[in-house]
Structure 1
């Protein structure tokens, strides 16, 4: 079966091959447009994230896919937020456990903690940092799909799997006759 697909690929004219490549580019650009549309709709730079650790169990497990929104309302104790620490790439999903509002500046100081952790997140923040701020928050959790994000975790843990998957999808698009 695989040899048949490869022989079909070899028999393609330059125009047919260009059309297949264009189809592949259209699929990728459509996915990017959907992502950007979700980001605009949810007012969040990252509308979907994957839980990477067990720190929020039993609320969320490793591999759960979280849907985020970033409303203009203030953050409340009990909200589950996704935030980024300046200078680090990986966002963190934890619950807000304490707030402090500074009246003079109107700034909100936020303390978070993973449900499955023994202590608050001050050890995760940058040295000397005791609170995070609203501008550090990527979004509030609005919903989730259990275990759907395991594919992302597997691709991060095994980079060769990512390239095999991308190559397989690219080959499938090229040899697809429709």
Structure 2
């Protein structure tokens, strides 16, 4: 049996591309951002740290950006929109809120908590509707 190294290399390259692409997709698990996106949608994200590569700087996010951050009040990453900033002891902190929520998230967010930013094309968030439901079902969410 001869090994076709070119074919094997092509499979390895495809696998690497799929793994990197999967790192840039985030399944929405709640309705807190409706109508921007819905539970079961997938959003395309940039990473603050992807294997040591920074695709964006969390200190450069702006009001209106939708980010994924490690919330002090919830045990899973949260996808919400930055609605304001506050200067606390010389550090810029962010006020963040789900579009469909009545009030902002309970704590200010430090830039170090922001791990991802939802990609926009023009003024539109990049959203793939509904195909994340399989992932939610498999994870029991």
Q: TM-score, normalised by structure 2?
A: 0.70
1:98 pairs with 2:98: no
Q: Indicate the SS of the match to 1:34.
A: helix
Q: Following the alignment from structure 1 to structure 2, what is the Cα–Cα distance between the partners of residues 101 and 38?
A: 36
1:2-151 alignment runs, 5 A limit? 31=15, 33-34=16-17, 37-38=20-21, 46-69=23-46, 70=48, 71-72=56-57, 74-85=60-71, 89-101=75-87, 105=90, 107-122=91-106, 130-142=107-119, 143-151=126-134
Unaligned runs of 5+ in 2: 2-7, 49-55, 120-125
Unaligned runs of 5+ in 1: 1-14, 16-22, 40-45, 123-129, 159-178
Q: TM-score, normalised by structure 1?
A: 0.56
Number of equivalent positions: 118
Give the aligned CA root-mean-square deviation in angstroms: 2.9
> C-alpha displacement at 1:93, in angstroms?
0.7
Of structures 1 and 2, the larger Rg is shown by: 1
Cα offsets for 1:27-82 (capped at 9, x unmatched): 8x964x3365348xxxxxx5221100000000010011111114126111111111
* Greater helix fraction, Structure 1 or Structure 2: 1
* Greater strand fraction, Structure 1 or Structure 2: 2
